[in-house]
A and B are shown apart, each in its own frame.
Chain A
């Protein structure tokens, strides 16, 4: 089935992108995962599924999200023209809604009666709780204790929406630990429960399913860019936690050879320290959470704790398709530190009147590094995948401000 010279054909039928991906899960889950795959394939082929998706995407999420030319920022940086794909304007405040909508429609098709999710920044948890409210399904969200403390507004939001938020104390109490506990719940309640994974990682078919649902970002952006500029951008930039907003923007452009693509990982205190979340820059291939991918780990294969000021990027792994794109060199992966992200966060607020989430602030930090050196005739398209309301407490604390 692989057409030569295309980067868009993966994964193979066993869920592999090159050596990455797969389904490394306990036997209890295997039958269900195969069932999810079958149901997803059937849904994809069913026009009524797409119709439902489009309906809620338009009327409930608010798609298409605008493509916005950031004129003041462009002038300020003095180089390439900067465009934002404004997924921060989605209902619930981030790109996470695109994916949750798709998966919850699938869960309903499969007759599942209970939804679980993991969350880091709380954006995926909020999106999941939101759609569970809409479709009247009980919702349990696993969230690391550390993240509960630093994303308090989102915790309260989820509760308002009727979800049960379970704090996870194990490990460092961040996203990886939340995912472990969500998997433990799933093994226990496998018959009735659908696990809505929040990023383009996990066992096959999750990485491809999440990518497909998020690709609406790139498809819209491509069309909008052609309309605005009559051509494709020269450079795409997106931040990487597990990689869902990034793959969503990148995937429709992978075969456009003249479009350079950069994913930005979280460098925390610096990729040379032991406090960062840059799995591609600082990790090596391993197996965790159902897939083979680049992981932060020690010489004994024990997973290391990630660090980022942004809870949504604080994950020691990355989706398998990114590992593959990194391996074959189609996408370039850079990183931005906590400090750089904080600066970008403040800059965008002042220059464009947009308070970004700390996650895309990492992407923006990279844009501020490369834009000045690019010609004024060049175009950068960045995924502004989330808004920063949830982060104001973290940022205030980092800046030493009491609110």
Chain B
């Protein structure tokens, strides 16, 4: 089987001998046009993989920054099918940067799993992270995703120990996302040593690339993570930067995407400098 876009990206990173930067933004935050402009600019700013949040009314695993981001998008009319439109528009001039959709199961369930997978694949989506679908529910979405040749990426956490880990790694593809802390998005980062140990533990069990996220806010932190893991994931900190560029009505101020992309650039520089 030929390499998928996501596999190729991690293979290339390995070749370059550096860790990657995975960036999270919410699709449609604060509005469709601004969000598209921002996402389009991410590869040039140094994002190696784009995680795109599918807005949900009740994001139970997310902290205040991403909750608010999700609600802003929904208030401005974002829907799951518009998220796919956004991916389609992005793919018109980018064929290389993988896009992973991240979110919760209910909107997909309501859209219809089979129809959603067909539409997502044709839009140019590479994989999914669905927070509330543990291995116990693999038959529902994970298996159909794999049958479409798309990736189902699982979160592993500090509580994923013992015989739980093989269970979680099974049917995971593309990469493994290690959530370095117990908790929701946007809280404190884990210590370097804890992350180091956890990644080593994962690497002993899987050949998949390991990305580490939750709590990474600065280029220095991203750089450190990228020395021990295959990629660093940054989400809430990017969303915070976006929020700084909103007016009192939560609408985009001029220059929002440039400001956010400049910040992403500093993260990317950090990651790129990390192993030299």
Contacts and interface: CB of A to CB of B under 8 A. Distances in A.
Contacts of A189: 182
A74 interface: no
For the residues of B in contact with A, the DSSP-based class is loop
A303 B60 contact: no
A303 B183 contact: no
Interface in B118-139: 131-134, 136-137
Contact of A190 (B58, B109, B131, B182): B182
Contacts of A303: 57-58, 106
Interface in B83-128: 104-111
Contacts of A302: 56-57, 74, 107
Contact of A191 (B63, B107, B160, B182): B182
A171 B56 CA distance: 12
A299 interface: yes
Interface in A188-209: 188-191
Given A286-B110, A302-B57, A27 B184 contact: no
A176 B134 contact: no
A28 B105 contact: no
A336 to B, nearest CB: 27
Measured as residues with beta carbon below 8 angstroms from the partner, the interface class of chain B is 35 or more
Contact of B184 (A31, A170, A187, A191): A187
Contacts of A30: 134, 136, 159, 164
Interface in A261-306: 286-290, 295, 297, 299-304
Contacts of B136: 14, 22-23, 30
A180 interface: yes
Interface of A: 14, 22-32, 170-171, 176, 180, 183-184, 187-191, 286-290, 295, 297, 299-304
Interface of B: 56-61, 63, 67, 74, 79-80, 104-111, 131-134, 136-137, 154-161, 164, 168, 179, 182-184, 187
Given A23-B136, A171-B58, A303-B106, 16 more contacts: A24-B133, A24-B134, A26-B60, A28-B182, A171-B57, A180-B59, A183-B60, A184-B184, A187-B182, A289-B58, A290-B132, A297-B106, A297-B110, A300-B80, A300-B107, A301-B80
